[in-house]
Amino acid sequence: MITFGIEEEVFVVEPEKPSLQSLYYLARLFWKNPSHYYKGSSSNFARGRDIRKGLMSGVEITTGIHDNTISLMDDFKERRKELSEVCEGLIVPMGHLITHNTPTNICAFQVHIGGTTNKKTYNNLAYFLPLLFLLTASSPLVEGKRYGHSYRLAKGYAIGTPEKEPTYRFQDIIFSKRLGTIEVKIFDPWWDLARIRIIVEALEKIIKIEEEMPFDIKEYKSLREEVAQKGYTENLKKLHERLSKHYPISSSYFKKTPADEVAELYEKEGLLATYSALDNAYRGGEFKPKKIKKIKKNIGKISAGIFGYYIPRLPYRAWKYWRDWH
């Protein structure tokens, strides 16, 4: 039986960048449903030189395991709703923050596929990933300047061309040692559930393809670079035509990417308007700026987050890290 699960990372900014107050929101989420969110949530942090821009990175929510994409998406919508209810800051679903240049301070959208760990399925999925990535490519800016369609894909930490042994974690698609799944790690996060539904349905269709796709690592690497900077090129169109034989997707989803929408709004209305529009879309489905509430840093809330969320989960984090690498 094929199963599916989703992990989504998003920034919570107050109002321009994340803070350790994000741990307080995770604590509220955790104590609302400890049996799920002890394992089904996480906190991420910047590394190395990127800490100068701030220690806190994104927060993560995770669905349960499902044997169909319909119940998966219902679960995912509920997880988003619960996160929205506890967050006072702006929820920003994108791969990299607009004014930063921080390759370790990034967020991802990941899909786990269980019940199949054979090499043909892995290769068939990898073959179409450069195309499918465009559906949520959402990190077009570095220090406020246009990079392309995804700085995270091009420069980001913990992903990369799948040219090493498939269980090596820092690749676009891997065999997860801890979960026994194929983990698709390539995607940027994005607010639009319609695009995410297309992704999971497309992955489901690709799994069922009986023929083996001509996956070539050199071609993949080239397409990966193209899509990160140039978007929907002629080479990607050819891949789209091949996928359409198994799962038709309108070319409009690829011609104008989330990255284009972000860049256009930022150029027109600026940083806070763009972040507020992303928050508005994540919570209510409307990509439109809204009034921003002032949020003060509160040491009490930060302490509650550390002691009520981060520390209680340390044993699980340690086990998870060990299991992912051994």
Closest CA to 108 of 5, 8, 4: 8
pLDDT (0 to 100) of residue 319? 92
Q: Answer whether 185's CB lies under 8 Å from 110's CB.
A: yes
Strand 109-114 with 173-175, pairing: unpaired
DSSP 99: T
Domains and CATH numbers, the chain: 3-263+298-325 (3.30.590.20)
Tokens describing residue 9: 């990372």
Query: How many CB atoms neighbour CB 314 within 10 A?
Result: 9
For residue range 177-201, what is the model confidence (pLDDT) as tens digits? 999 999 999 999 999 999 999 999 9
Q: Answer whether 31's CB lies under 8 Å from 117's CB.
A: no
H-helix segments, 168-257: 193-207, 217-229, 234-244, 252-255
Mean pLDDT along residues 10-19: 97
pLDDT (0 to 100) of residue 117? 84
Mean pLDDT along residues 281-309: 96
pTM of the model as a whole: 0.97
For residue range 33-45, what is the model confidence (pLDDT) as tens digits? 999 999 999 999 9
Mean pLDDT over the full length of the chain? 97
Q: Answer whether 141's CB lies under 8 Å from 86's CB.
A: no
Burial 129-145 (b: 16+ CB within 10 A, else e): bbbbbbbbbbbbbbeee
Assess whether pLDDT exceeds 90 at residue 240. Answer: yes
Assess whether pLDDT exceeds 90 at residue 17. Answer: yes
For residue range 93-130, what is the model confidence (pLDDT) as tens digits? 999 999 999 999 999 999 999 999 899 999 999 999 99
Closest CA to 2 of 125, 115, 117: 115
For residue 278, what are the CA distances in angstroms to 21, 190, 219, 262, 319?
A: 19, 9, 34, 9, 34
Confidence of residue 325 (pLDDT cuts 50, 70, 90): confident
Assess whether pLDDT exceeds 90 at residue 326. Answer: no
For residue 5, what are the CA distances in angstroms to 65, 83, 89?
A: 5, 17, 26
Q: Answer whether 215's CB lies under 8 Å from 127's CB.
A: yes
For residue range 127-140, what is the model confidence (pLDDT) as tens digits? 999 999 999 999 99
Mean pLDDT along residues 289-293: 94
Mean pLDDT along residues 294-306: 94
Write out the H or E segment, with its range, that includes residue 274.
helix 271-284
Q: Answer whether 232's CB lies under 8 Å from 134's CB.
A: yes
Judged by DSSP in three states, 186 sits in: strand
Alpha-carbon distance of 39 to 139, in angstroms, equals 27
Query: How many residues can be counted in the chain?
Result: 326
Q: What is the Cβ-side half-sphere exposure of residue 280, based on CA atoms within 13 angstroms?
A: 14
pLDDT (0 to 100) of residue 323? 87
Assess whether pLDDT exceeds 90 at residue 75. Answer: yes
